[in-house]
Amino acid sequence: DVVRHFPVTRGAVLRRVVGRVRALDGVSLTLARGETLGIVGESGCGKSTLARVLTALDRPGSGEVTVLGMPLHRMRGSELRRARRHVQLVFQDPYGSLDPRMTVAEIVREPYEVHPDLVPRGRREERVRELLEVVGLNPDHSGRFPHQFSGGQRQRVGIARALALRPDVLVCDEPVSALDVSVQAQIVNLLERLREEFRLAYVFIAHDLGVVRHLADRVAVMYLGRVVETGSASDVYEHAAHPYTRALLSAAPVPDPASRGTRREIVLTGEPPSPVDVPPGCSFHPRCPVAVADCRRLPPVLAPVARPGHLAACHLAGR
């Protein structure tokens, strides 16, 4: 079986200025068909901006976004609309992202208003029922409104809507972080099943390395709008090279038979990062437990560590 690799964002250099906030700076990511890329970082690191840029909801201030060979940053109007069909977004908030005045059937069917040629009008109701079934909802409940569903069920509605256009890529922006812990695993399992069934590639965004561990083939760790480490899941989880990645890993929930759900002490110290006032040199230096004098003035570049494809932006990485 030949695996076809193609870039989703080949050499994408995104440079986005939101007021004085530098949300993304030189972010470059690639994704192969059927692959899951986990993007991890604290709030304010630019993850949601990246999600919106990748799905062409926002334009990059400058730079390029190439998805499946399509230069989204250069497209407009109907051309951009057609391209967007291939890359759909699953939102973080299953409460705020569904219109409370629309029935579930109307919500899931809505993408066909923008892409009317995809499914003929007469077949849409049937398609909506199929989509609801695929995400584990009762198709007979399609006339109900969002408030009649639980948070987990609403996220399933959001996923059904994202699948309506048969995309190649789902960008999931913290799809489980607004949900109860007991429901999170169900949604992650659903996404895993859909990946096989629909041959999807995922960009799975999370603030916690633990959430993407189960799904991700590759991981990119972001800090203040930059990718500070990227590599295969085993490189990043087992051979983390950047002090920030190590801090995130040590903060991840550790299975403890005595008291389930307890967390190991967080190594990270200092103020949460402000994207408005990015420290000079290595932007992580005020919180870095191993910073040296050079870190305050020299910005490290993303450079190979040990294995091919494993990169880290730290003066001490790989030494």
Residue 226 in the binding site for ligand SF4 (CB under 6 A): no
Q: Which is nearer to ligand SF4, 63 or 225 (CB)?
A: 225
Among residues 28, 48, 184, 250, the one that binds Mg ion under rule CB under 5 A: 48
If binding is defined by CB under 6 A, does position 288 make contact with ligand SF4?
yes
Residue 48 binds which of Mg ion, ligand SF4, none (CB < 5-8 A, kind-dependent): Mg ion
Q: Containing H/E element for 233?
A: helix 233-238
Rule CB under 6 A: choose which of 104, 291, 302, 305 binds ligand SF4: 291
Give me 18's structure tokens.
């939101």
Tell me how far, at minimum, the Cβ of 123 lies from ligand SF4, in Å. 54
Asked whether position 24 contacts ligand SF4 by CB under 6 A, the answer is no
Q: Which of 231, 243, 273, 275 binds ligand SF4 (CB under 6 A)?
A: 243
Cα–Cα distance, 273 to 21 (Å, whole number)? 12
Q: Which is nearer to ligand SF4, 116 or 289 (CB)?
A: 289
Q: Is-contact 62 12, C-beta < 8 A?
A: no
Which of 51, 163, 212, 295 contacts ligand SF4 by CB under 6 A? 295
Helix (H) or strand (E) holding 190: helix 181-198
The full DSSP string for 266-293 is P---SPPP-TTSPPSSSTTGGG-TT--G
- Report the C-alpha gap between 280 and 246 in whole angstroms: 22
CB-wise, 134 or 288, nearer to ligand SF4?
288
- Yes or no: say if 214 and 188 are a contact pair by the CB < 8 Å rule: yes
Give the position of tokens 């390029």: 64
Q: Does residue 300 touch ligand SF4 according to CB under 6 A? A: yes
Interface with ligand SF4 (CB under 6 A), residue total 13
Calpha distance 25→9 (Å, rounded): 15
Interacting residue ranges for ligand SF4, rule: CB under 6 A: 242-243, 282, 284-285, 288, 290-291, 295, 300, 314-316
